[in-house]
Structure 1
């Protein structure tokens, strides 16, 4: 067996403002371990790139281009929503991965994603061992939903939280200025299928020196229409206006998503989106108040211009640590962020076994949500505040941020067979 092995890196699921910072951490660190890692190949469009043998040679990129990934949003190599089925259901998928890895002398697998990616990473490490071609598989955490277990928080979340907190504050200033003769309620829809971490960030917009009437609707709290309308009515009568931050994953008493349109995404999950107008219409019909609503959608996860410095630093750190874990022979693990203290904010990287990460969702703790179900507690605020602190602006030119576009030179295919996905 050669002394060095190539590495494969792929991005999975919805991208973030800082996932490329993790890619930068992986590639820059791998280049420092030339005695163990040859080239870093990236999968074009995530794991699909591995299955179709559509690999990108990152060694063809300059050091400055790779460094620029740290301040560039989205997925530089392309991502995908493609969940590998269980080994029992589709063993051929995993065998194909190993076949491609073997053909390109790949001994390291870095999968940058959320819970489904952790599961895939674990399965690859297990099957490769059984097939006689062991792969060191390391999961690099990423998800704006902040719902991975063990790690204190997830890279990507801090920047989304900052964007939502800022947007809630700014939109609230807007509606407050118009409340006398026009809009009384602004409704902002944010991401979050099962966990209300992003919605909770809206609560940070209101502080002791800048108080704002905000109602938050969490997926963890069953939606009560009458109770909700009563709260909105109370705040509008007291302050003249209020803002509502609603998670896309809010459910009614029947257990159905308020925004479920009957569609499904590539992972088989309900295709959500559109809860803001549903809630806004309730306010119109129930209280006869003028409203405006908005959907943060891709804007919240692509906003690198307002990224949290803590988030950027952590995203890079998990990529770097992932390589360091791998070259030491650690397999089926994930770099996890461990909070040392909140004031001052200190953290370090720990190692988590993938067996305890895969397919486990971390929900908002009950003591993070106020008893009425519409706000965040002091304990939640203490958890969230450090994650949005610090600015790490990208370079600007002519008023616009300068983001890098890589060459993404393809690796010559070696296999004669093709694989359809």
Structure 2
């Protein structure tokens, strides 16, 4: 009887270390070649499964797969494509099962956030009902660090490091010119509902005179006058003010400050850029000259300044996913369990997908400073270990060397086509 094959897909916004998880999955599957047949990847995430556009990773050399560990972004392509509930759109889930059956796929590894964990859970449930049992393991990934149960999410530690470094370096620039030029610098970072990334900027400040002087978090309703007062105090005391703002800050009535009026592929409100709004407010109300930057893709693509802790954990959850599948676990997700803060120690745990899917974890109140504009020592103790260590990629001609895979297609076996909704 032929060995069951495996399918791996990347989902949602990519990170500096999601390919390290892919490396963990593929290398571990290769070590178990007596139990797993081929490992296929979905071209552009779950879309690759729906359209039967699979990639044969067995055609990649061991050296190329190893290089994924230091290569950012999604080597196989990712997507923002949310599968609805089983009853709302059963056809998509049935299509997944049909493709898996056609290619003798018995293991499904889905690397993503809360929506992805929900998809993996539903596929495992439908496979059982349709008489084609498939082992589904979610692999955690999100720069937002908002998955529950796991202590942290692979992808976050490197973004946290990038944002803290950028805040520190830009702060030195602003301070040097503040006497005759810029008084306010605004850095907009990702974080729709959870302020973990913005909070990480607080690691740059070892004393109150160091930036960031003001952090705006989604967990704290934005109030204009207290904010302006905080900016004015910083300029009067230190000569300048560095502000880090999460894209998802809301007004007291719950509306996003930067609601653009449209939605994305997941049905989330499309945010229109809160950094310029905050910067313009400082100019209009206080008269301060400003500069504004939006970290955007730079923060999640910056593999050259990745956290070694993050890289190690991303690889570990990928490897653990395969081991869990072979141990007979199903509808679960490997987690990171913190054993102690200092020296930092962690291990791999396991959570049921039903406890993870579509759930978000924001900053707890004890991590937010009493005035709402900074982080506490407890937050610093949590964050500090996650940015530790350097894991530089190899360099060629002065630039990082990142691998590009062949990504050869697997011949289609189904005679039909599937139209994405």
Q: Secondary structure of 1:38's partner? A: coil
Give the superposition deviation at 1:213.
5.0
The reply to whether residue 251 of structure 1 matches residue 268 of structure 2 is no
Q: Secondary structure of 2:336's partner? A: strand
Residues 253 and 209 (structure 1), Cα distance of their counterparts in 2 relative to 1, 3 Å cut: closer
**Within 2, Cα distance between the matches of 1:100 and 1:122?**
17
Give the superposition deviation at 1:84.
0.3
Give the superposition deviation at 1:242.
1.2
**Within 2, Cα distance between the matches of 1:251 and 1:66?**
42
**Within 1, Cα distance between the matches of 2:165 and 2:112?**
26
Q: Secondary structure of 2:258's partner? A: coil
Give the corresponding residue for 1:276. Answer: 275
Q: Secondary structure of 2:335's partner? A: strand
The reply to whether residue 149 of structure 1 matches residue 184 of structure 2 is no
Give the superposition deviation at 1:212.
3.0
The reply to whether residue 324 of structure 1 matches residue 311 of structure 2 is no
Give the corresponding residue for 2:340. Answer: 341
Give the superposition deviation at 1:209.
10
Give the corresponding residue for 2:297. Answer: 298
**Within 1, Cα distance between the matches of 2:84 and 2:57?**
28
Alignment of 1:73-88 (within 5 A): 73-88=72-87
Give the superposition deviation at 1:298.
0.1
**Within 2, Cα distance between the matches of 1:45 and 1:259?**
29
Give the corresponding residue for 1:200. Answer: 199
Q: TM-score, structure 1 length as denominator? A: 0.99
Give the corresponding residue for 2:71. Answer: 72
Give the superposition deviation at 1:208.
4.3
Give the superposition deviation at 1:271.
1.3
Give the corresponding residue for 1:186. Answer: 185
Q: Secondary structure of 2:168's partner? A: helix
Give the superposition deviation at 1:35.
1.8
Stretches of structure 2 that go unaligned for 5 or more consecutive residues are none
Give every structure 1 segment of 4 or more consecutive aligned residues whose post-TM-superposition deviation is greater than 6 Å.
none
Q: TM-score, structure 2 length as denominator? A: 0.99
Give the corresponding residue for 2:48. Answer: 49
How many aligned residue pairs are there?
A: 420
Q: Secondary structure of 1:31's partner? A: helix
Q: Secondary structure of 1:50's partner? A: helix
Give the corresponding residue for 1:8. Answer: 7
8 Å Cα contact 1:70/1:312 also seen in 2: yes
Alignment of 1:70-149 (within 5 A): 70-149=69-148
**Within 1, Cα distance between the matches of 2:414 and 2:350?**
35
Give the CA RMSD over aligned residues: 0.9
**Within 2, Cα distance between the matches of 1:214 and 1:19?**
32
8 Å Cα contact 1:11/1:113 also seen in 2: yes
Residues 28 and 78 (structure 1), Cα distance of their counterparts in 2 relative to 1, 3 Å cut: same
8 Å Cα contact 2:209/2:238 also seen in 1: no
